[in-house]
Amino acid sequence: MKKLGMGVLGVGEMGRRHAENLRYRVPEAKLIAVADVSEARAKQVASELELERYYGSFEAMLEDKEIEAVLIATPDKFHAKCIQLAAHGGKDILCEKPLAVNIPDGKATLDAVAKSGKRLQIGFMRRYDPAYAAAMKRIEAGEIGTPVIFKSVGRDKDQPPIAAYESNVNGMMFYNNTIHDFDLARWMMRDEVSNVQAFTTCAIRPEVAKFGDVVASVVNLQYRHGAIGNIESYAQAVYAYDVRTEIVGSKGSIFVGTIGAQEPAVLLTSRGGEQRLEDHFLTRFADAYLNEVRDFVHTMLKGDQPRVTGDDGLKALAIAAAAEESHRHSKPVAISG
């Protein structure tokens, strides 16, 4: 059986999960090596995963001829540069979100990928979650009619340490957290966002403001074809990691991840409620991350193009950038393009 030789860059919490999935749960993948700016960490993870090779720099790993594709799980700030390096090095790429933390870098990155002829997938893993995928199939089947309202909630449980803001290696909340909702807002509504208006606060943790970030935000959306939406993000909910989405249509509504429900997705129509969309829903997005890397490996081996493209990454990035501009200038912002 043909296997895809892969390397993982960045083996912090997220990168390690990806490496474990590739090593043990994707038979068609052969994890060749890991790399990290901390060579000691790369060495430790390589040892734990029984890998012979590890690197203290991305450039060194890119020289490994056995590696055909790379998975990038560095902090947000380095995504654009690492994608460009990987493309120039002749590797196909699966990169965690976001594509970049500003539009010029995002466009330059896609240009570099296009020139290289390599393939790029962006890590919007919620598209691979069984509950979101089931909900999307029902939307596509017309069961809720024409989508009219998009509503999404994303609340992290624990407040990030101030050091996480001070390091300046990740994008602000819109790029690091809400970017997932921005992607869902396009994908599940099957339309493009045309305008946004962001409302934000640091009231319960004012020290966050000096690092250019926020503790909570609400972003209102307008779509090209008349639909509207609302996204709430919160960095320190305390009670749980709480992610929910609802699409309201002309014939009904569909929920994903509803708190208190026994099922991960709930469909409401004129006939009443229907809850049986998935057999089970593992805590958080464990299945989604695994399904994502499996799909990437299979796509690369078949010679196909990724389902979640660099253009998807750029369009979600454009919404994030508009939300940031709205936050900074306290006004609605149109999305160009």
Q: What is the pTM of this model?
A: 0.93
Q: Please say if the pLDDT value at position 172 is more than 90.
A: yes
- Distant-in-sequence, close-in-space partners of 228: CB < 8 Å, separation ≥ 6: 148, 149, 150, 220, 221, 222
Length of the chain: 337
User: How far is the C-alpha of 147 from the C-alpha of 191, rounded, in Å?
Assistant: 9
Q: End-to-end distance of the chain based on CA atoms, in angstroms?
A: 43
CATH of the structural domain 4-125+288-308, one choice from 3.40.50.10860, 3.30.420.10, 3.30.420.40, 3.40.50.720 = 3.40.50.720
Q: Give the percent of the chain with pLDDT over 70.
A: 92
* CA–CA distance, 226 with 34 (Å, rounded to integer): 46
Strands (E), the chain: 4-9, 29-35, 53-55, 69-72, 92-96, 120-123, 147-155, 193-201, 216-223, 228-234, 242-249, 252-256, 265-269, 272-274, 333-334
Amino acid (one-letter) located at 127: R
CATH architecture of 127-281+317-334: 2-Layer Sandwich (3.30)
* Other CB atoms within 10 Å distance of the CB of residue 309: 16
The whole-angstrom separation of Cα 57 and Cα 220 is: 41
User: 186 pLDDT exceeds 50?
Assistant: yes
Q: Which pLDDT band holds residue 276 (cuts at 50, 70, 90)?
A: very low
**Residue range(s) occupied by CATH 3.30.360.10 in the chain:** 127-281+317-334
Q: What is residue 161's predicted lDDT score, i.e. its pLDDT?
A: 94
Residues of the chain with CATH 3.40.50.720: 4-125+288-308
- Specify the pLDDT at position 158: 85
Q: What is the pLDDT of residues 113-142, one digit of tens each?
A: 999 999 999 999 999 999 899 999 999 999
Tell me phi and psi for residue 156, to 5 degrees. Answer: -75, 150
